[in-house]
Amino acid sequence: MRHHNTNRKFGRSRSQRKALMRSLAISLVDNEKIKTTEARAKELRPFIEKIITKSKKDSIWTRRVLISKLGSGGGPSVKKLIEMIAPKYKERTGGYTRIVKLATRQGDGSPVVQIEFV
């Protein structure tokens, strides 16, 4: 049974969704805030929060897991996560990101939000 197993598909295949989440997560780590659509931000939030929770503990295993989650292009992002971002949240047990609603997009009217670290 598939109870509570609904995820947004974004009209993409599984590999494309995975690549989208990876690129959004890397952009968020590098820039510390990004503008995106509301649906993408809501899907990104649990993905990035699990990554931050793992990055609190610095070990070789953790670095390997984070590189596997973010892809091979996420190496510098993994370093920034472990050395700069995770120490800020050592005492915090969750809720590392904030979603702020902005205006709707001019072209198609989709709601645009800003996702940032707290």
Is residue 6 over pLDDT 90? Answer: no
User: Residue 1's pLDDT is what?
Assistant: 85
Q: What is the mean pLDDT of residues 16-34?
A: 97
At 71, the amino acid letter reads: G
- pTM, two decimal places: 0.92
At 112, the amino acid letter reads: V
* C-alpha–C-alpha distance, residues 66 and 77, integer Å: 9
Domain ranges (residues) in the chain: 36-117
Across the chain, mean pLDDT equals 95
* C-alpha–C-alpha distance, residues 45 and 8, integer Å: 13
CA 55 to mean position of chain CA atoms: 13
Q: What is the mean pLDDT of residues 85-113?
A: 96
User: Residue 75's pLDDT is what?
Assistant: 87
Cβ atoms 82, 30 nearer than 8 A: no
Fold classification of 36-117 is 50s Ribosomal Protein L17; Chain: A, (3.90.1030)
Residue written as token pair 């997560």: 25
